[in-house]
Amino acid sequence: MAGGAEERSAVAEAQDFLTNLLTGRPMPQKHIKEAAEGSGIAWRTIQRAKKRLCIEGAKDGMGGGWSWSLPKSADNAEECQPKKMASFGSNGALRCNGVAFCQYDDGLEIPEFLRRIG
């Protein structure tokens, strides 16, 4: 495996860097990139750390850039996906153990035509 322990160590360092940088506030991606370059961390390593930490990106309007923030709903950075969520299983798409809204409820209404049981 190329990189091995050194690559894991670099990603772990990048994860610490991003966690410290983003704790308590979102930040523009371009500022993160500048800070990473100033700290000697490769951008590709930052992107790997972003994925592992489940960092969320959001576009700042049509003409704006991207901002990154730490996830609000993930219990564990290694487990980003909601637990017991069926994608196309017997419970149907976007259902949690047969219930349309579960602990991951985002407050959005589901139109009646989507509630039909097949």
Backbone angles phi, psi at 57, to 5 degrees: -110, 140
The per-residue pLDDT for range 15-74, each reduced to its tens digit, is: 999 999 999 889 999 999 999 999 999 999 999 999 999 998 998 888 889 999 998 754
pTM here is 0.56
Sequence spans of domains, the chain: 4-69, 81-118
The CATH code for residues 4-69 is 1.10.10
51 vs 84 pLDDT, higher one: 51
pLDDT at residue 93 greater than cutoff 70: no
As a three-state string, the secondary structure of the chain is CCCHHHHHHHHHHHHHHHHHHHCCCCEEHHHHHHHHHHHCCCHHHHHHHHHHHCCEEEECCCCCCEEEECCCCCCECCECCCCCEECCCCCCCCEECCECCCCCCCCCCCCHHHCCCC
